[in-house]
Structure 1
Amino acid sequence: MTFIPKERLKNVRIQRGYKQSEFAERVAMDQSQYSRRETGKVAITDDEWERFAAALGVEKEEIVETEPRVINIVNNSNNKGNSINAFEITIKAPSNFFQDLNNKLDFLIQKIESK
């Protein structure tokens, strides 16, 4: 799975004058591991967000970028365990997607009920 690049984190790191390798050392992480997090190849844990924010001297909320929710539907085997008609569906949606959808449906229901 691929995550979104962490532009806010990267921008603050650069504003504070840290090269990626310098900042990785500051947060006690291998540069390649940090790079994978900043570029979105690996998810950042809550503890890591806290460490990064503290190292940058900012509130966590200034750098956090949440991942879209992901729903994976996979069927890659028959009842004998052999791969047959394999498929995978991945749906990515922003974290507020379902709340927005619910609000729109509520609005439509109110309109219909008022008529």
Structure 2
Amino acid sequence: MTTGTKLKLLREKKRISQEELAYAVGVTQTTIGNWEHGKSIRHEYISKLAEALEVPSEYLLLEIQSNNAIAPPPEKENNTTGFEFIIKAPNNFFEDLNRKIDFLVTKFD
């Protein structure tokens, strides 16, 4: 399985868009699309991708030349017993929200 194929499968498994992954890594959505379609990935982005997708860097780098499906990467242990909210919104929404929270914190400090 190629790195691009793994990238796409992992991204879809996490239910994030190319744009969201691009923002997390610091590239454009087009770049993510190119990587998923087999274009080469500069080494400096491998660790950022691995962190964003919560997999070891080695998993992304290792390409298996086989028709057999390979096992997915080991899940990171999550010792919390809660749940997680996923909010999909434009980036400027969070920037504006952070400004408002900062304002309130300084006002009531």
Give the TM-score, by structure 2 length. Answer: 0.50
Give 1 or 2 for the bigger CA radius of gyration.
Answer: 1
- Specify the alignment match of 1:52 in structure 2: 49
Distance in 1, matches of 2:53 and 2:24, equals 9
Unaligned runs of 5+ in 1: 67-93, 95-115
* Cα displacement (A) at 1:63: 2.3
Distance in 1, matches of 2:13 and 2:32, equals 17
Give the TM-score, by structure 1 length. Answer: 0.48
Unaligned runs of 5+ in 2: 66-109
- Specify the alignment match of 1:16 in structure 2: 14
- Relative to its length, the structure with more helix (as a share) is 2
- Relative to its length, the structure with more strand (as a share) is 1
- Specify the alignment match of 1:27 in structure 2: 25
Q: Read off the aligned partner of 2:16 and give its amino acid letter.
A: Y
Query: SS at the partner of 1:11?
Result: helix
Give CA deviations for 1:67-111 in whole Å, capped at 9, x if unaligned. xxxxxxxxxxxxxxxxxxxxxxxxxxx7xxxxxxxxxxxxxxxxx
Q: CA 1:5/1:52 → structure 2, altered by over 3 Å: closer, same or farther? A: closer
The 4+ residue runs of structure 1 with deviation greater than 3 A are none
Q: Across the two proteins, how many residue pairs are aligned to each other? A: 64
Distance in 2, matches of 1:13 and 1:20, equals 8
Bigger RCO (CA 8 Å, 6+ sep): 2
Q: CA 1:65/1:38 → structure 2, altered by over 3 Å: closer, same or farther? A: farther
Identity percentage over the alignment?
A: 25
The aligned runs of 1:1-115 (5 Å cut-off) are 6-40=4-38, 42-66=39-63
